[in-house]
Each structure stands twice: as structure tokens, then as C-alpha cells.
């Protein structure tokens, strides 16, 4: 395995907010970049406050088939940082499935790049790894902070299902559950707009202001953009330890009424429906981890943890295990991807049902975005609460849905889906010329 050396230098930060805005504006002209931001959440285990990769020395882009083996080979070429994503349709590789639906945005099934420049940013300092860190630092300092750029077109949001069609699907899925085909299934629908004319940076800043979540990202792979406000970690590897933190269970916030907000949080913790969803996914994650972890090492570190974010309370559980020796990244991902929180149980059957009942490909949505470091450790989020944008075709897309169980009420699932979509529509209303 080869490696290369980048020069590294650390500089003090006097105004964290300003330097962060400068980095955002500095990175966006690169045709390939990834900015990961935890918005100062103290998420255990520790995640970098803000990690930025810009420019590409090497690129791996491939469809499902042999993509995960190709990622392992790409990783073995050099001990270097790699940033990129795993698209949901890698399921076709991990479970020998297929996808026939339309993909409006067109992210590759797998895309990773070795950055030319790596930046770590926190409240006290900025560390730059590059061929010439001083030049990069100076270029960031002189970068102008762009004012928000409003769109100049009317943005028409369309969706994949009418209310009645959506209710009919939920009821059909519950019949599958009653027959024993599955226990829980994540069902989503796409919302999209053509001739979108958005400014990705403005939309990202608006989304971050409304929903500053701990696994947020601003990501570009040529003419495809991801604007992500994810609260969920998919999988983190540290040495021989694997950790997953699935989310299942959501309740709205009411910060203007502390007592009602407290009751919402308490109701979520006690909810039989949300607990049923959560424990099913936890069992699925335990099973997935056990395929690559030492016997007896997989454990549930936390069950039904309730965490509060600006817009919602979430039920989050934590599952961990100790890896078998000599386990490669391709073996890990083949055992665990896609994540159980975005599929259901049993995983292969529900992915077949997702293909049957959903109407468009998920693409990068409900996939994962993150990094692999030179030691082979990695950290990936779950791509949810996200806007995808195809700049070449001027088309944007986002998806929303929920977990369906025996306890689900179809009308409530529709309301949850529309409520999640409304949060993103609200962001788009603020950043476009007009919207209907």
C-alpha cells in the first residue's frame, strides 16, 4: 500500500462563525468537495466539528455490481483520506436485487475521492493539510462571504402520490405485515421540481439555520449536489469497534411552550408504535453487526434514547460490536448496508416491497455519506432530511416517509410524511423567487 505526505499547519481562530462562512464560500467553486458539519453537537463518540475535503487527486465512481470490492481496492492503493457516498441501490449488489424506477438526480451508486485539500475546523483552530497550507489559508481569508442568492424562477413542487394513493399503499403494506411477509417497512415518496434554478449554497445555509443537525453535509460530485441536514449516524469504525445509531421514532417540538414540549418528548418515549419500530430496527442492526463482529461482542449500549433537535425529538438507540480480525470495508458494508432504519425487517423482503410500492429510485437518499481515514477508520451518516440537485438538468428532489408497522394508522403516516416534507418546502420558499 502506497501513501503520500501532505503538509499540515494549524492556525488560530478568533471568529469561528466568520471563518466557517468563509470556508463555505471558498469550497463551493470546486467541482468535487464534501463538507461535514456537526453544528457543535457533542455527539458521542466524538465527531469532527467541521471536516472539509476539496478537490480530487483520485476518483472512484461506479454502479452497483462490484462497487464495494472496487472501494476496497481503491482504499488499498494509498493510505489517504477518502470522502464520498454509498447510494441506496448498492442493495442490488449486497442482496442481488434490481431497480427499474426512474432516477431523477443521477448520483452514482458509489462515489469516493481522495482530496487535494483537507480542512479541520473547530471553535479554536483551523488545521489545513495540503501541498501548501499557507496558500490555502490565505485564499480562505480573502474569500468574500456571499449574500444569500434568491432564485429567479417559480418553483413548482410535485409529489409522487396523492393522499388517497398513499393511504392505499400503507394499507397494502399492513396486509403484508399481517401475512407475515415483514414486520416493519420504511416507505417513502419523492417530491421534486423541474427548472429549479436554486443556489445550492443559499439553500444549504437556510436549511442549516432551520435544522442544524449533527450529521449535516454540503456535498458536490460534479453537477450533482447534496444539501443534507441529517440527525442520524449510520456506522462508525474506530479501530476494531463498530457502532451504529439507528433512529426510529419522531415527535414534534414546541419550544415556545416548554410544558407541551416536555409532554411531546415523554409521549415519544412511551409510544408503543415508536418503540416497536425502534426495537425491530435494533434487532436488525444487531443481526447485521453479528455477521462481521466477534461472537458475543454485539451489544445494545442504549435503547430508546430520546434526543432533542431544533425541530423534532428523536428516539435513538446505539448498537456496537468488536470486528473480526482482517475484516475489510467491503465485507463490513456487504453485511450491513443499506441501514435497517431506512429499510425494515426482514431486510431483503422489505427492499423488494419498497421497489414494488415506491415509484422512483432513492439514489443517494437513504444511502450514506462520510469519510474513510488513512488508518481505515470511517464515519458515515444516513442521508435523510436532504435536498438533491442535478445542476445540469436543473432539477431538485427530496424524499420523505416513515416506518410502517402493525400499529401504524395510515392517516397519521400521511401526516408525518407531509410534515417532514413541509419543513424542506419551507426552506425552499425562503430561497427561491416564488413557490407553489
From 427, 322, 384, 351, select the one nearest 184 (Cα to Cα): 351
Q: How far apart are CA 188 and CA 350, in angstroms?
A: 12
The answer to whether 295 and 30 are in contact (CB under 8 A) is no
Q: For residue 50, give the nearest of 13, 80, 20, 12 by alpha carbon.
A: 20
Residues 6+ apart with CB under 8 A from 345: 182, 183, 184, 280, 281, 283, 284
Q: Which of 93, 232, 277, 416 is catalytic?
A: 232
How far apart CA 46 and CA 30 sit, in angstroms, is 28
Q: Is 334 a catalytic residue?
A: no
Q: How many other CB atoms sit within 10 Å of the CB of residue 145?
A: 11
129 among known catalytic residues = no
Rounded to whole angstroms, how far apart are CA atoms 386 and 230?
A: 7
Cα–Cα distances (Å) from 31 to 146, 200, 262, 298, in that order, read 18, 13, 45, 40
The answer to whether 350 and 290 have CB atoms below 8 angstroms apart is: no
Which of the following is catalytic: 20, 248, 347, 420? 248
Active centre residues (catalytic)? 232, 248
Amino acid at each position: 500500500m502506497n501513501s503520500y505526505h501532505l503538509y499540515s499547519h494549524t492556525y488560530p481562530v478568533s471568529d469561528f462563525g466568520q471563518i466557517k462562512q468563509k470556508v463555505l464560500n471558498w469550497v463551493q467553486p470546486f467541482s468535487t468537495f464534501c463538507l461535514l458539519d456537526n453544528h457543535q453537537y457533542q455527539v458521542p463518540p466524538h465527531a469532527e466539528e467541521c471536516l472539509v475535503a476539496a478537490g480530487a487527486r483520485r476518483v472512484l465512481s461506479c454502479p452497483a455490481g462490484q462497487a464495494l470490492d472496487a472501494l476496497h481496492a481503491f482504499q488499498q492503493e494509498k493510505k489517504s483520506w477518502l470522502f464520498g457516498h454509498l447510494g441506496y441501490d448498492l442493495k442490488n449488489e449486497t442482496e442481488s436485487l434490481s431497480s427499474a424506477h426512474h432516477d431523477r438526480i443521477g448520483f452514482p451508486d458509489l462515489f469516493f475521492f481522495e482530496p487535494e485539500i483537507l480542512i479541520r475546523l473547530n471553535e479554536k483552530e483551523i488545521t489545513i493539510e495540503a501541498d501548501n497550507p499557507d496558500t490555502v489559508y490565505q485564499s480562505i481569508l480573502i474569500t468574500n462571504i456571499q449574500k444569500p442568492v434568491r432564485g429567479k424562477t417559480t418553483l413548482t413542487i410535485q409529489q409522487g402520490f396523492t393522499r388517497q394513493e398513499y393511504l392505499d399503499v400503507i394499507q397494502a403494506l399492513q396486509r403484508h405485515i399481517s401475512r407475515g411477509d415483514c414486520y416493519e417497512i420504511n416507505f417513502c415518496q419523492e417530491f421534486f421540481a423541474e427548472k429549479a434554478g436554486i443556489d445550492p449554497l443559499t439553500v444549504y445555509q437556510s436549511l442549516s439555520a432551520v435544522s442544524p443537525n449533527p450529521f449535516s453535509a454540503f456535498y458536490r460530485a460534479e453537477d450533482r449536489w447534496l444539501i443534507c441536514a441529517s440527525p442520524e449516524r449510520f456506522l462508525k469504525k474506530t479501530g476494531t469497534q463498530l457502532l451504529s445509531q439507528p433512529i426510529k421514532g419522531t415527535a414534534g417540538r414546541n419550544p415556545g411552550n416548554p410544558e407541551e414540549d416536555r409532554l411531546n418528548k415523554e409521549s415519544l418515549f412511551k409510544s408503543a408504535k415508536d418503540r416497536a419500530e425502534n426495537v425491530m430496527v435494533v434487532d436488525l442492526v444487531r443481526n447485521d453487526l453479528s455477521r462481521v463482529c466477534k461472537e458475543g461482542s454485539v451489544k445494545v449500549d442504549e435503547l430508546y434514547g430520546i434526543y432533542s433537535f431544533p425541530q423534532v425529538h428523536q428516539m435513538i438507540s446505539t448498537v456496537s460490536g468488536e470486528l473480526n480480525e482482517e475484516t475489510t470495508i467491503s465485507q463490513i458494508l456487504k453485511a450491513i448496508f443499506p441501514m435497517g432504519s431506512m429499510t425494515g425487517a426482514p431486510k431483503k423482503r422489505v427492499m423488494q416491497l419498497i421497489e414494488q410500492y415506491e415509484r422512483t429510485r432513492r439514489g443517494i437518499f437513504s444511502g450514506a455519506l462520510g469519510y474513510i481515514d488513512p488508518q481505515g477508520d470511517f464515519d458515515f451518516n444516513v442521508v435523510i432530511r436532504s435536498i438533491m440537485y442535478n445542476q445540469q438538468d436543473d432539477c431538485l428532489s427530496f424524499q420523505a416517509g416513515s416506518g410502517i408497522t402493525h400499529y401504524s394508522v395510515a392517516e397519521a403516516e400521511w401526516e408525518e410524511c407531509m410534515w417532514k416534507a413541509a419543513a424542506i418546502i419551507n426552506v425552499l420558499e425562503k430561497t427561491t423567487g416564488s413557490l407553489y
